[in-house]
Chains A and B, each alone.
Chain A
Amino acid sequence: MKWVSTAVAIAVGLIALLDFFFIHPILNGVGAAFKEWTIILTAFALLLGLYNLLNVHVLRIIRRSEPGAGYSAVVVLTFAVVTVIGLWFGLPSGPMNWIFDNLYVPLQGAFFALAAFFLATAAYRALRARNIETTWMLLAALVVLIGQIPLLGELADARAWVLAVPSAAGVRGILLGVALGTIATGLRVIVGMDRPHSE
């Protein structure tokens, strides 16, 4: 029966591809329906992710012997509280906004801000002119950092040049490579060489 799933995948892939390139009422209608189905499926994927998260932490709490069971209890408890408040008060609501503005966002921001200290320490250790390559990398980092400083606006043009020429060239190459890889992957699925849906 694997051929059924393969045939369905090829058909849907071809329709989605044709829908992207052509304007046709029927074709675009079928393509839109497929997109709606995909959106619904991704919503279910969120529920599956939630189930998996709770399953892992609940099992860890039940076993107790595993390290970090206390943190798992905090996760499960926080989930339950926010869920109850959200279901009770709805979204958006005052309690939910307070939780979001005063707990979630500051925690996330603080956690991300720690990266600045780690990056500073790493820059002290790693950005050293050991050889030619690291010297070039060190110079580029210094130019970009100093170019961000408005007090030294003279280096802003140098920073813009670094970002617009060498950095953008590398990024453009990455984008082209990703695009080609995406095309190849899509073609492989459409022609049936890749069958991740039937595994």
Chain B
Amino acid sequence: MLYCSQCGTQNREGSKFCNNCGARLKPASGAICPMCGTANQVETVFCTNCGARLVPLTAEPDSEKPASAHPIKGLSLPTKIPPSPAHAEQETPSPASAVPEEPAHDETQTLRDAPPPSESREESGSGQDVTTEGETEIPDWLRNLRSSMPVEETSRPSPVSETGPVQAGGEGEDQVPDWLARLRAEPPAEEEPAARQVSEDAPDWIKQLQAQEQVPVPPRHEEDVPDWLRQLHAEASSEMTLGGEEQASGAPSGPAAETGLEQDTEEPESREPFPREIKSDAEITIPSWIEHAAGIDTEEPAPAEGSELPVWLDQSSLESPVQPSPVQDEPPVPAPIDQLGEEVEPPKTEDQAALPSWLLPSTPEETPPETPTWIEQVPALPAAEEPAPVPATDGEIPDWIKELQAREPAEAPAETIPEIQGAETESLIQSLEQDAGAEIPLVPAEAAGLEKPLEEEIPDWLRLAMPAERAAEISAEAEAPEEKIEAARPEEVPAWIAALRPKDEVALTPAELAGEPSEEVGPLAGLRGVLPLAVAVAEPHVQTKAAAQPQAPAGVHLFDSILAAPAGEAELPAAKGRRALAIRPFIYLLLTLAVIVPLLLPFSLARSMLPIRRTPAEGFYELLQGLPSSSTVLVAFDYDASMAGEMDLQANAIVRDLIRRRIKIIAVSTLELGPQIAQRILDTAAAGVPNYRYGSDFVNAGYLAGHEAGLSQLATSGLSANSVDFVQKQKLGSLPITANIKSMRNVALVVELAGSEDSLKMWMEQVQPRGGAHIAAGVSAGVEPKAQAYYDAKQIDAVLSGLVGAAQYEILSNQPGLAVTSVDAQSAAHVVLVLIIVLGNIAYWVSRARGSETARASRGKAT
């Protein structure tokens, strides 16, 4: 069962969130996968969810190896080695091993005899100082370290002691931790308050841990005890002196713990930080496990009770990272410590057989290549932090410690040595460096790639204690963390994460650029890394063959059948067909009458009512009137026979006026039949003016081939001297009127008679800007919008539009002719068109209204 850390609600095993408050549940035991967060069994090597390795591969223990083989490069990991044949049976997590073979009382009885870790504190008197005087909170191991006292081999820690700061009652074997008593006696339902109560009895640093994490771990139930611990207890029970169960029952219970809590919580204000309490070397004692690791034969400062206990248990009590209770004879064991003990440093030598495999020393051969990177970074720290189980306030805890605490509740704060200074500290570090490689199962940091990451996380206090050269080296590395990380951990980034790294900001190296396709054509040819154009743009003339659709043959056959079928009348609805047949002749008849009647019966309405003043035609007329006599005008007849009905009227009016004023005319055309049209107009107009001769006063230069090229040549070079005129077939260079036309600047005006937009555009693009000629455009009514645009842009000097413009010009030049008469017919036709449009709309709205009424009627009948 899982207990919520927030509300204490009991939840089903395997639940991730609390049923009551929704808080995320943390399993009471087990290994949390750093990759996916899945809770696994303690002995699990690989995560059951994602397969990530939970336990690092470490070096084999080498008891024969001399000391100082591996100086400490930082912090070491709890290691795991492949189980030896002797250990295989105990280490293999089998279903049988998962079930405790011995009764619970045997386990508790075994542990009941364990001396509390406070015994050593009692000996040193530090416990009293903490609780009563508030003088110091220095644990025994620090005091031992400070005094540099030799430590006996028997002072090595034990995993049982690491399961928690077993607070004995002060009488050694008679003291049984109450958590063990609860394991045996109390039901799960009663564990929650007990756990909270015990946690309040914990020393300050444990309280701080609890306060920071806000995760009071529920008490352990028998089912929650890991297999390795049960096996360990079973073996230990055979070695230890059995204690009476009555002592367990006599252990202080909740009220006693509360009393201890009161005493403990009343004092913190009066306490001073730990570093201030370190006054002299005598106050610091080296932990037994460190001394043992250093291979120094020291005298055990532990009490005599320790000698009565099994060696491993005695060691475990000394090695315990927490020196919890300052109150003598107060047995409560904090529940969190109980849980902490599962994950702290195991023993090292003779009790290895009783330990789980992952707690055993490592073999150097296996360590480097197979150690996962996440283990190199994270779990390597706790082992070295264990020697600093000194209380500390929140303000004193470095961030990296808080992170570690958040990840590993059992880890003791390591900031308790920040102000250890002087030779004592150096001796401590030196002893650590000398001894760790000898017996402490450290992971070879260099081989595992741990050196740089671990050194980066070395706290300041440890850095100060290090030799100056080494500290400076580490500081220099810390100043450029990113480069170091990139340089030191290329292999730590998993491939799938590396693949997610954004690459757009990465500049291509020359080698990479060499692999890029190069531009082969265009001005960018030869450049590499050029963004490719779309296929349709880069290869516009490469026709992609469309994939044949399955239904394509059927469509082709249908289309062929439609084309081959004889033409017939469309099967329209009868009513619509009759209506169409009725209205179409009516329209045709009205339009015919509107055109014919004014031509046959001139009304002369246009002559009297057509607006003349302030019209474009007036401007056109004024422009031509401003031309001096005997000046040369180039008239371009750029309309074909289909537009002759409209444009001939303009041409006649303009040419007649020009010839009447004896202005010389050069006729050209960009259309093949234009010269014929021009010749007809010129002959008609010149016939009425005496002494106005072809060749001297006017000339038909004929067809200008080449379209834009011909006009461009005309604009820059004038008429080609080798070309011949349309009538006499004489070279233009020999004619007096055209001999001196070298460019359009030699003509007074260009009159462009354009029946289409293309002709006007060519003149405006090729002649007007380059030749600098003045252009007056006489255009059909359909081209008027485009001519108006050029006129607004001042590219055209004047515009004469359509039949109305011709009529206006005739009126202005006082030579009314067919144009004026045609305007009457055109006006009548426009009136008819307007009437037809209006009738069409009336019919549309009437039919729409009838349709609505019919629809409403049909709906009414239907309803």
Whether A and B are associated in the same complex: the answer reads yes
In the complex, whether B113 has a CB less than 8 A from a CB of chain A is no
- Nearest CB of chain A from residue B108's CB, rounded to whole Å: 90
- Nearest CB of chain A from residue B617's CB, rounded to whole Å: 12
B600-617 interface (Cβ within 8 A of A): 605-606, 609-611
- Nearest CB of chain A from residue B285's CB, rounded to whole Å: 86
Interface string of A67-105 (1 = CB under 8 A from B): 000000000000000000000000110001100110011
In the complex, whether B850 has a CB less than 8 A from a CB of chain A is no
B723-762 interface (Cβ within 8 A of A): 726-727, 761
The answer to whether A120 and B785 touch (CB under 8 A), given A141-B837, A168-B792, is no
Cβ contacts under 8 Å, A96 to chain B: 676
In the complex, whether A51 has a CB less than 8 A from a CB of chain B is no
Among B304-312, B496-504, B826-834, the one that faces the other chain is: B826-834
The answer to whether A39 and B709 touch (CB under 8 A), given A108-B644, A150-B611, is yes
In the complex, whether A167 has a CB less than 8 A from a CB of chain B is yes
Contact call B789/A116, Cβ cutoff below 8 A = no
In the complex, whether B12 has a CB less than 8 A from a CB of chain A is no
In the complex, whether B66 has a CB less than 8 A from a CB of chain A is no
Compute how far the CA of A171 lies from the CA of B793 in the bound complex, rounded to whole angstroms: 12
Cβ contacts under 8 Å, A170 to chain B: 785
Compute how far the CA of A117 lies from the CA of B705 in the bound complex, rounded to whole angstroms: 35
- Nearest CB of chain A from residue B728's CB, rounded to whole Å: 10
Contact call B642/A148, Cβ cutoff below 8 A = no
Cβ contacts under 8 Å, B840 to chain A: 123-125, 127-128
- Nearest CB of chain A from residue B374's CB, rounded to whole Å: 54
Compute how far the CA of A43 lies from the CA of B723 in the bound complex, rounded to whole angstroms: 14
Cβ contacts under 8 Å, B788 to chain A: 163-164, 167-168, 171
Compute how far the CA of A32 lies from the CA of B149 in the bound complex, rounded to whole angstroms: 111
In the complex, whether A195 has a CB less than 8 A from a CB of chain B is yes
- Nearest CB of chain A from residue B78's CB, rounded to whole Å: 69
In the complex, whether B583 has a CB less than 8 A from a CB of chain A is yes
Return the contact of A120 from the options B521, B680, B706, B832 (Cβ within 8 A). Answer: B832
- Nearest CB of chain A from residue B791's CB, rounded to whole Å: 9
Cβ contacts under 8 Å, A20 to chain B: 712, 770
The answer to whether A149 and B591 touch (CB under 8 A), given A193-B522, A194-B541, is no
Return the contact of B705 from the options A39, A100, A146 (Cβ within 8 A). Answer: A39
Contact call B836/A97, Cβ cutoff below 8 A = no
Contact call B834/A100, Cβ cutoff below 8 A = no
Return the contact of A150 from the options B672, B786, B823 (Cβ within 8 A). Answer: B823
Interface of B is mostly: helix
Interface string of B527-547 (1 = CB under 8 A from A): 000000000001011000000
Compute how far the CA of A191 lies from the CA of B653 in the bound complex, rounded to whole angstroms: 48
Return the contact of A151 from the options B827, B829, B836, B837 (Cβ within 8 A). Answer: B827
The answer to whether A123 and B789 touch (CB under 8 A), given A100-B676, A104-B641, is no
A22-51 interface (Cβ within 8 A of B): 28, 32, 35-36, 38-40, 42-43, 46
Contact call A124/B587, Cβ cutoff below 8 A = yes
Cβ contacts under 8 Å, A43 to chain B: 705-706
In the complex, whether B523 has a CB less than 8 A from a CB of chain A is yes
Cβ contacts under 8 Å, A111 to chain B: 642
The answer to whether A194 and B709 touch (CB under 8 A), given A109-B641, A117-B591, is no
Contact call B680/A148, Cβ cutoff below 8 A = no
Cβ contacts under 8 Å, A180 to chain B: none
Cβ contacts under 8 Å, A92 to chain B: 676, 679, 726-727
Contact call A116/B591, Cβ cutoff below 8 A = yes
Contact call A129/B841, Cβ cutoff below 8 A = yes
Write the chain A residue with the least CB distance to B592.
A117
Return the contact of B827 from the options A148, A164, A192, A194 (Cβ within 8 A). Answer: A148
Cβ contacts under 8 Å, A35 to chain B: 706, 709-710, 712-713
A160-183 interface (Cβ within 8 A of B): 163-164, 167-168, 170-172, 175
Cβ contacts under 8 Å, B677 to chain A: 105
In the complex, whether B804 has a CB less than 8 A from a CB of chain A is yes
Write the chain B residue with the least CB distance to A37.
B709
Chain B CB count within 10 A is highest, among A20, A128, A129, for A128
Contact call B785/A168, Cβ cutoff below 8 A = yes
In the complex, whether B162 has a CB less than 8 A from a CB of chain A is no
Contact call B641/A108, Cβ cutoff below 8 A = yes
Contact call B833/A150, Cβ cutoff below 8 A = no
Write the chain A residue with the least CB distance to B781.
A148
Contact call B541/A105, Cβ cutoff below 8 A = no
Interface string of B811-835 (1 = CB under 8 A from A): 0000000000001001101111110
Cβ contacts under 8 Å, A46 to chain B: 672
Compute how far the CA of A130 lies from the CA of B78 in the bound complex, rounded to whole angstroms: 87
Compute how far the CA of A168 lies from the CA of B801 in the bound complex, rounded to whole angstroms: 14
Write the chain A residue with the least CB distance to B801.
A163
In the complex, whether A65 has a CB less than 8 A from a CB of chain B is no
- Nearest CB of chain B from residue A37's CB, rounded to whole Å: 9
The answer to whether A150 and B706 touch (CB under 8 A), given A32-B713, A112-B642, A117-B587, is no
Compute how far the CA of A20 lies from the CA of B584 in the bound complex, rounded to whole angstroms: 54
- Nearest CB of chain B from residue A9's CB, rounded to whole Å: 13
Compute how far the CA of A101 lies from the CA of B648 in the bound complex, rounded to whole angstroms: 12
In the complex, whether B717 has a CB less than 8 A from a CB of chain A is yes
Contact call B584/A116, Cβ cutoff below 8 A = no
B765-785 interface (Cβ within 8 A of A): 770, 781, 784-785
Interface string of B833-862 (1 = CB under 8 A from A): 110110111001100000000000000000
The answer to whether A168 and B640 touch (CB under 8 A), given A146-B834, A153-B610, is no
- Nearest CB of chain B from residue A111's CB, rounded to whole Å: 7
Cβ contacts under 8 Å, A150 to chain B: 605-606, 609-611, 804, 823, 827
Contact call A105/B644, Cβ cutoff below 8 A = yes
In the complex, whether A145 has a CB less than 8 A from a CB of chain B is yes
Contact call B710/A109, Cβ cutoff below 8 A = no
Compute how far the CA of A101 lies from the CA of B789 in the bound complex, rounded to whole angstroms: 34
Compute how far the CA of A164 lies from the CA of B793 in the bound complex, rounded to whole angstroms: 12
Return the contact of B641 from the options A38, A105, A153 (Cβ within 8 A). Answer: A105
Cβ contacts under 8 Å, A101 to chain B: 680
In the complex, whether B373 has a CB less than 8 A from a CB of chain A is no
Chain A CB count within 10 A is highest, among B583, B761, B792, for B792
- Nearest CB of chain B from residue A5's CB, rounded to whole Å: 13
Compute how far the CA of A171 lies from the CA of B680 in the bound complex, rounded to whole angstroms: 33
Contact call A123/B833, Cβ cutoff below 8 A = yes
Cβ contacts under 8 Å, A32 to chain B: 713, 716-717
- Nearest CB of chain B from residue A130's CB, rounded to whole Å: 8
Cβ contacts under 8 Å, A133 to chain B: none
Cβ contacts under 8 Å, A91 to chain B: 676, 726
Write the chain A residue with the least CB distance to B807.
A150
Compute how far the CA of A23 lies from the CA of B584 in the bound complex, rounded to whole angstroms: 61
- Nearest CB of chain A from residue B582's CB, rounded to whole Å: 12
Contact call A153/B541, Cβ cutoff below 8 A = no
In the complex, whether B559 has a CB less than 8 A from a CB of chain A is no
In the complex, whether B645 has a CB less than 8 A from a CB of chain A is yes
Chain B CB count within 10 A is highest, among A141, A142, A148, A172, for A148
Contact call B705/A163, Cβ cutoff below 8 A = no
Return the contact of B789 from the options A107, A112, A175, A195 (Cβ within 8 A). Answer: A175
- Nearest CB of chain B from residue A137's CB, rounded to whole Å: 11
Chain A CB count within 10 A is highest, among B606, B770, B781, B785, for B785
* Interchain residue pairs with CB less than 8 A apart (18): A43-B706, A91-B726, A108-B640, A112-B642, A112-B643, A121-B588, A123-B833, A124-B583, A128-B844, A130-B844, A138-B841, A141-B837, A149-B827, A150-B823, A156-B611, A171-B786, A172-B789, A193-B538
Question: What 9 pairs across the A-B complex have the smallest Cβ distances?
Answer: A39-B706, A108-B641, A38-B709, A150-B610, A112-B642, A124-B840, A108-B642, A105-B641, A149-B827
Other 8 A-B pairs with CB < 8 A, given A163-B785, A195-B541: A40-B705, A42-B706, A117-B587, A129-B844, A148-B827, A153-B610, A175-B789, A193-B540
Interface residues of B (CB under 8 A from A): 521-523, 538, 540-541, 583-584, 587-588, 591, 595, 605-606, 609-611, 640-645, 672-673, 676-677, 679-680, 705-707, 709-710, 712-713, 716-717, 726-727, 761, 770, 781, 784-786, 788-789, 792-793, 804, 823, 826-827, 829-834, 836-837, 839-841, 844-845
